[in-house]
A and B are shown apart, each in its own frame.
Chain A
């Protein structure tokens, strides 16, 4: 690792581990103390390493410093509560603070428990994602603000509110009870799914794709698979979905940071190792009697890893979308389903269905209609694409639509 990347790299991997372990030991209500101690630990590294040299095992060094700081914090707190307790004449036993356990095993357990604590149904989804990025992924406030296209103040307030809610609800850093696990796991999966999508469909002006967000979501999902009681079909299906999507990262981005649409992607850039991983998790997911939306979406993503346009492929995708929409409607799934319908049943059938859909208030609805009408009625296609262009917000989107319009004009010239 390069010297200048050492601290950011360690911060990304170790900050969240220290916070998770400390939160588990201090209780959720002292999350800020845990964050402070983890932050101070890195500060100590920056103050010491340049003069004394980088320790042989930097992570172990950080753990030792964090442990000492935590021990001091607990002593101070006990002294304080001890004094108050004696004043209130409550005989409370004062014990020597428990040893902070930064073993690999306890780190993993703590991270899992923190994942469940943060993805608590009482917390708004948006706040869960922000809190996950901060506490479980070690993202800076500025990075989170960037990912959400907002400013630091908004994120700070959002995190503050979420932490207060965790305190008010007395959310414990612990594994949910056996009978609660399915319900709580559903919330965790939703958050991880949203976290991944935040990176995959990033609207941030900085980039059209944020692989770091996606990779963090995958890491946390993998954490669930390593644990026996959370290694469930839906979790495997979600990781399969993420692997299939992630396999197209390099193909999806072009040099000017624009988005490359599926049809134009160079499949030589697809990561077939990730495709194989995805297929493996999808097989693992194919047990039990319950089909989750992650199963269906993973199935759709799987078919997209096969570039050849066969009738069977689009028929399979269409039926998966038919099922997915019955389970959970979303405007984007409705549009994608209509696109699959055009490939499976022809453009005329798809146009009839598309015109029954509610316009989505963005460019996607009109882009689809433009696509469907091209070759059928090119004037109408152009009209829709113009409308799409007026809705497009980013330069990348405008570029994509303009390219389609050029293609259409060219096609009309030839005819």
Chain B
């Protein structure tokens, strides 16, 4: 069994959705994660709030600190969860259930986590 990180990229929900939509989206996310945990496949996860975020960028004149957005607005990192899966296909099946994907242009990136034993 390997561990995979599912990385969510989406717009800042606070800006595009109503409080009711955010509430519904939160419930869907909690139910989605609960469903993974009920299969004993959940490892950990966290949201990455959009406020108080900075990007430190290399330029000719040295590092420059900028406030968000970070690149394309749809490609901003919004959070992640780590799951256990037998294969990348299984991890992808989990990713498909993510409520993040209800927003057009949003994405979930699936990456295997190196085992740290030198073999990957």
Contacts and interface: CB of A to CB of B under 8 A. Distances in A.
A337 B33 CA distance: 12
B30 A353 contact: no
Given A326-B34, A334-B39, A337-B34, 16 more contacts: A318-B31, A319-B27, A319-B30, A322-B30, A322-B33, A322-B34, A326-B37, A326-B45, A329-B37, A329-B42, A333-B38, A334-B40, A341-B31, A353-B35, A356-B39, A358-B39
Contacts of A232: none
Interface residues of A, number: 19
Interface of B: 27, 30-31, 33-35, 37-40, 42, 45
Nearest to B26: A319
A357 interface: yes
B74 to A, nearest CB: 27
B30 A325 contact: no
Contacts, number: 46
Interface of A: 315, 318-319, 321-323, 325-326, 329, 333-334, 337-338, 341, 345, 353, 356-358
Contacts of B42: 325-326, 329
Contacts of B40: 329, 334, 358
Contacts of A333: 38
Contact of A356 (B27, B33, B35, B45): B35
A331 to B, nearest CB: 8
Contacts of A325: 34, 37-38, 42
A329 B38 CA distance: 7
Contacts of B45: 326
A345 B30 CA distance: 13
Nearest to B28: A345
B39 A322 contact: no
